[in-house]
Amino acid sequence: MRIKFLHAADLHLDSPFAALPPEQAARRRREQRELLGQIVELCNGEQCDLLLLAGDLFDGATVYPDTLEVLQRQLARCRALVFISPGNHDPYGPDSPYARNDWPKNVHFFTEPSMQGFQLPHLDLELWGAAFTGPSAPSLLDGFRVTGERPAIVLLHGDAQNAASPYNAITTTQLEQCGADYVALGHIHAPSGLLHAGKTAYAWPGCAMGRGFDETGPRGVYVGTLTDEGCDLQFHPLDSRRYLILSVEAGADPRQSILDALPPETENDIYRIVLTGPSPRLDVVSLEESLAPRFFGLTIVDETYAPQNLWEARGQDTLRGLFLQALYERRAEDRELYEMAAQLGVAALDGREVPEL
Ligand SMILES: [Mn+2]
């Protein structure tokens, strides 16, 4: 046996990208459509037998006609057989895009909320799967076992991390007992890596494109090879843009502090920069405007606090005042040392965390 497949999931085509300005959100949706071309290119280049799309191909029930056209055109270009298992965002139904009759001939869908099988004798393989037909689904793999003699792949949208999930909860026992050689999953948006339950290999590739700051880092698809020795899985990053969160100590010159903290190439990425520590009053809007050209998207979050004038309370008839006065009078001996002592003492008196000095 030697089956090569490309496994992708959770493309969420036509996502709103609500956190981005409208123009950039539209550009991201265009990039989602371009991602389809990249996936098909990779699939053809790797000479895969199968393209497995494990659900949430669309973000919702309404799909732009352009998106559908690009998808159909790209899939027609794909030399592999394409199988789609609809998920909770794009359930199969008579009004869903999947029910249209103009799909390329190499594209096949699961349409029932129960396990169905395709026999692929030319690959000596069985391909099993099921569909969401609504926003949730019971445990579709429960009690299922591959029936035939051939090696088998199962394609499903479902949650293998939470046994109480309303989204087709999948347990390791079900995976172990289903008898498939590989279970191609979707739903969880961070890639799983290659996992095993008994002799069953399984994985989910995560969403192929980051859509927010809960989806940071590289995103992509898996290319897998199934042989008698087992399953081999390679992650292929595809999305050229990443969501990144960077925390920066604002200091005296927040703009310079940000520039010092950034890696050289940031033009393609979407950043959230969190400014921390003591800082003079910040004008976040103009700071964002002046730095924006260096990024595809930038949000600056101000978590700084006003710096106190260290010696302000000196001379007051309080413990703080007497403490500061005593240090102030001697600070000519060693300015740095006495300022440090004053900072630590004031923080202790305020009950604040001791600042890093
Ligand atoms: Mn999803």
Mean pLDDT of the chain: 93
Q: Distance between CA atoms of 290 and 292, rounded to whole angstroms?
A: 6
Q: What is the 187 CA–ligand 1 centroid distance (Å)? A: 5
Q: What is the 85 CA–ligand 1 centroid distance (Å)? A: 12
Coil/strand/helix, residue 203? strand
In one-letter notation, the amino acid at residue 296 is F
Place of tokens 């394409």: 82
The 3-state secondary structure of 231-287 reads: EEEEEEECCCCCEEEEEEECCCCHHHHHHHHCCCCCCCCEEEEEEECECCCCCHHHH
Give pLDDT, residue 314. Answer: 87
Q: What is the 27 CA–ligand 1 centroid distance (Å)? A: 20
Residue 22 has pLDDT above 80, yes or no: yes
Q: Distance between CA atoms of 221 and 239, rounded to whole angstroms?
A: 10
Residue 278 has pLDDT above 90, yes or no: no
Residue 356 has pLDDT above 70, yes or no: no
Nearest of 205, 201, 172 to residue 190 by alpha carbon: 205
Q: Are strands 50-53 and 125-129 parallel, antiparallel or unpaired?
A: unpaired
Per-residue pLDDT averaged across 256-270, rounded?
93
Q: What is the 57 CA–ligand 1 centroid distance (Å)? A: 8
Q: What percentage of the chain carries pLDDT values higher than 70?
A: 99
Give pLDDT, residue 216. Answer: 87
Q: What is the 237 CA–ligand 1 centroid distance (Å)? A: 18
Give pLDDT, residue 54. Answer: 98
The enclosing H or E element of 128 equals: strand 125-129
Q: What percentage of the chain carries pLDDT values higher than 90?
A: 75
Least confident of 35-49, 63-77, 161-175, 324-338: 324-338
Coil/strand/helix, residue 312? coil
Residue 355 has pLDDT above 70, yes or no: no
Angstrom CA distances, 9 to 54, 321, 327, stand at: 5, 63, 64
| pLDDT level of residue 339 (50, 70, 90 thresholds) | confident
Residue 132 has pLDDT above 90, yes or no: yes
Q: What is the 171 CA–ligand 1 centroid distance (Å)? A: 19
Place of tokens 């949208």: 157
Least confident of 154-158, 182-186, 279-283, 324-328: 279-283
Residue 86: burial class (beta carbons within 10 Å; 0-12, 13-18, 19+): buried
Q: What is the 272 CA–ligand 1 centroid distance (Å)? A: 23
Per-residue pLDDT averaged across 174-184, rounded?
97
Non-local CB neighbours of 357 within 8 Å, separated by 6+ positions? 340, 343, 344
Coil/strand/helix, residue 294? helix
Q: What is the 153 CA–ligand 1 centroid distance (Å)? A: 21
Q: What is the 186 CA–ligand 1 centroid distance (Å)? A: 7
Residue 302 in tokens: 């101000």
Give pLDDT, residue 214. Answer: 86
Give pLDDT, residue 282. Answer: 84
Give pLDDT, residue 357. Answer: 64
For the domain made up of 2-237, give the CATH fold.
Purple Acid Phosphatase; chain A, domain 2 (3.60.21)
Q: What is the 56 CA–ligand 1 centroid distance (Å)? A: 5
Q: What is the 26 CA–ligand 1 centroid distance (Å)? A: 20
Q: What is the 43 CA–ligand 1 centroid distance (Å)? A: 21
Q: Distance between CA atoms of 87 and 204, rounded to whole angstroms?
A: 13
Q: What is the 157 CA–ligand 1 centroid distance (Å)? A: 9
Exposure of 304 in the CB half-sphere (CA atoms within 13 A): 22
Coil/strand/helix, residue 28? helix
Q: What is the 7 CA–ligand 1 centroid distance (Å)? A: 14
User: What phi and psi, each to the nearest 5 degrees, are found at residue 197?
Assistant: -125, 105
Q: What is the 88 CA–ligand 1 centroid distance (Å)? A: 7
The enclosing H or E element of 121 equals: none
More confident residue, 196 or 357: 196
Q: What is the 52 CA–ligand 1 centroid distance (Å)? A: 15
End-to-end Cα, the chain, rounded Å = 63
Residue 353 has pLDDT above 80, yes or no: no
Q: What is the 60 CA–ligand 1 centroid distance (Å)? A: 10
Let me know: does 196 contact 223? Beta carbons within 8 Å: no
Per-residue pLDDT averaged across 13-39, rounded?
91
Q: What is the 207 CA–ligand 1 centroid distance (Å)? A: 7
Give pLDDT, residue 217. Answer: 84
Q: What is the 188 CA–ligand 1 centroid distance (Å)? A: 6
Q: What is the 89 CA–ligand 1 centroid distance (Å)? A: 7
Give bridge partners of residue 349 from the DSSP assignment: none
| pLDDT level of residue 222 (50, 70, 90 thresholds) | very high
Q: Give pLDDT tens digits for 50-107.
A: 999 999 999 998 899 999 999 999 999 999 999 999 999 999 999 999 999 899 999 9
Q: Distance between CA atoms of 310 and 339, rounded to whole angstroms?
A: 8
Give pLDDT, residue 29. Answer: 92
Q: What is the 353 CA–ligand 1 centroid distance (Å)? A: 41
Residue 70 in tokens: 């690009």
Q: What is the 76 CA–ligand 1 centroid distance (Å)? A: 24
In DSSP notation, 170-194 reads --HHHHHHS--SEEEEES-SS---S
What does R_g of the chain's alpha carbons equal in angstroms?
28
Give pLDDT, residue 340. Answer: 86
Other residues' Cβ atoms within 10 Å of the Cβ of residue 262 = 17
Q: What is the 227 CA–ligand 1 centroid distance (Å)? A: 29
